[in-house]
Amino acid sequence: MFTIEINNQQSAVAIDADRLRRAAQTILEEEGLAEAVVNIAIVNDATIHDLNRRFLDHPEPTDVLSFLLDDQNGLEGDVIASAETALRSAEQFGWSADDELLLYVIHGLLHLVGYDDLDAASQAEMRGRERYFLAAFGLQPRYDQPVLSHVGEICP
């Protein structure tokens, strides 16, 4: 049984809570979990910056954070994603902020279920899982494509 809570704490981007919940449910099921409690918070840059500084001692904002709270009695964890970062990145990558947020939530959930991206091999594995779960929504990640600058030129 899964409990998946969505907490929208920002107003920059309209979110599709059902879509985020479906993504979480799919990942938890496909990764073989029987029980999980996951809280997904969509926040602004100031909030994620504060959390990143306070809990990870990183002095900058980020796109997504995940915190594994318990994995002894089923999985319990939090995923926090920045809607403002998603909005900026979505424009850069040429897809919707909603799609970018979905990528962040998938990435954060993959961390919760045990994937990491600290070296090239683990990053490649995580990217593969991101592609797999995005495909369930008819999407492919845009980080594999050239980025358009604001003046329409392709950036390296």
Domain residue ranges of the chain, discontinuous segments joined by +: 2-155
Query: Is residue 97 within 8 Å of 86, Cβ to Cβ?
Result: yes
End-to-end CA distance of the chain: 45
The CA distance from 3 to 21, in Å, is 9
Residue whose C-alpha is closest to residue 61's, from 69, 72, 53, 70: 53
**2-155 domain in CATH 3.30.70.1150?**
no
pLDDT digits (tens, 9 = 90+) for 66-110: 999 998 888 999 999 999 999 999 988 889 999 999 999 999 999
The CA distance from 9 to 52, in Å, is 16
pTM: 0.89
